[in-house]
Structure 1
Amino acid sequence: MSGVTAPAQRRALLAHVDGWIALGFGSGLSPWAPGTAGSLAALLPWLALRLLPWPAYLAVLLLAFALGVWACGRAARRVGLHDPGAFVWDEFVGQWLALLPVLAGPWWGVALGFALFRLFDVWKPWPVRWADRSLDGGLGVMADDVLAGLMAAGVLALVVYVLTLA
């Protein structure tokens, strides 16, 4: 995964709405762990999104995914990179997926969901690694983080279920 380091690349991305979206409204330009910065930035809109009824939440996720495929695909072509580390819209969507089990859950569930998503996103177990290496364009940028988010959501749902039984 290459980063967006050249000033010309940054200018090209920031000159278009698709670049702003792909960069997570600038959070992906963090010099420190842009994926983690993007996941943290995703928590701000999530605070409002979590108030939606779950069907509306799922609709927003689908729309955000489609928007990410479009924006990340166009922006990646513009700078000539496959999946730049600065593109963090995929972290937004993956993080929102990971937090699905705790929309109305305990605060510790949010922290655990964040940690689990980052774990699966960095570790990239199968099929996350397959998606990261095999898919191209905007779908390739988005798919691995969606799979990491789904895996994190599954583990988080299990933990919340087990702990709320006690």
Structure 2
Amino acid sequence: MQKIFLTFFYSGCMKKAPGTFGTIAALIPAFFILKYLGVQTLFLLSVLIFLVSIRIIDDYEEKSGIHDDKHIVIDEVAGVFLALAICGQSLFTFIFSFIMFRIFDIKKPSIIGKIDKKVKGGLGVMLDDMIAGAFAGLFCAVVYGFLLRFELITWDIKLTDLF
């Protein structure tokens, strides 16, 4: 059960780019949560996953002796949920938030990289992705606001209007 949770239903078990596959897998429930349950639900779920995962990851690391195993992708799930909750309510922002989250998560600029290196255990595994999600969501919101202000995007559609 622990492995199913940490690998987000085995989406993190891919040999190449497990974090990206885990994040893509997270987009499916995120879409339906945003469409039918709302942004608040996705935000609260992100926080809940963050809090619950810390202890589960600590337990896993104690048993396996591996810190931040590449197959653990629940941190990517929580992070992308946060990014999408901040700025992912339209088709453009949904895709853009995903891309920006992956960039921040992979490149680990600024404080994200420092947390990744210095904070150990489940908190370290989860916190860098939550901050990457916050940065991605905020960056997406600023860029989207700019695009709307100067009428540079006119084709976008809200997720609730799809299907």
Could you say which TM-score interval applies, normalised by the shorter chain?
Answer: 0.7 to 0.9
> Does structure 1 retain, via aligned residues, the 8 Å contact 2:82–2:134?
yes
> Does structure 1 retain, via aligned residues, the 8 Å contact 2:19–2:76?
yes
Question: Aligned pair 1:153/2:153, yes or no?
Answer: no
Q: Which residue of 1 aligns with 2:154?
A: none
Quote how far apart the aligned CAs of 1:61 are: 1.6
Match of 2:5 among 9, 17, 21: 21
Return the letter of the residue paired with 2:97.
G
Whole-angstrom distance in 2 between the partners of 1:128 and 1:62: 18
Whole-angstrom distance in 1 between the partners of 2:38 and 2:129: 23
Match of 2:120 among 107, 117, 136: 136
Match of 1:108 among 89, 92, 97: 92
> What's the TM-score, normalizing by structure 2?
0.85
Matches within 5 A, 1:27-106: 27-50=11-34, 51-105=36-90
- Same amino acid, percent of matched pairs: 32
Which segments of 5 or more consecutive residues in structure 2 lack a partner in the other structure?
152-163
Return the letter of the residue paired with 1:157.
A
Quote how far apart the aligned CAs of 1:104 are: 2.6
Return the letter of the residue paired with 1:47.
F
Quote how far apart the aligned CAs of 1:24 are: 1.4
Structure 1 runs (4+) deviating above 6 angstroms are none
> Does structure 2 retain, via aligned residues, the 8 Å contact 1:19–1:72?
no
Which segments of 5 or more consecutive residues in structure 1 lack a partner in the other structure?
1-16
